[in-house]
């Protein structure tokens, strides 16, 4: 259940920020989302 929630949250972040080349699987569960002024996922 927690994995589903994390996946859905990642999808929402990607959609809201219009990140066309990013997939939910690309965002690590323990990644910092905001690092300074940039997005912290790789």
9-33 pLDDT, tens per residue? Answer: 999 999 999 999 999 999 888 877 6
Question: What gap in Å lies between CA 4 and CA 42, rounded to an integer?
Answer: 21
Question: What gap in Å lies between CA 18 and CA 2, rounded to an integer?
Answer: 24
Contacts of 11 (CB under 8 A, 6+ apart): 24
Task: Judge if pTM exceeds 0.75.
Answer: no
Give the per-residue pLDDT at 4. 93
- Containing structural domain, residue 24: 2-39
To the nearest 10°, the Cα dihedral for 38, 24, 22, 36?
A: 0
Q: How many structural domains is the chain composed of?
A: 1
Three-state SS for 21?
coil
Give the per-residue pLDDT at 36. 54
Does residue 11 contact residue 24 with C-beta atoms inside 8 Å?
yes
């Amino acid at each position: 259940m927690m994995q589903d929630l994390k996946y859905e949250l990642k999808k929402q972040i990607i959609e809201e920020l219009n990140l066309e080349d990013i997939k939910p699987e690309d965002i690590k569960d323990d990644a910092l989302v905001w690092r300074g002024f940039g997005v912290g996922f790789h």
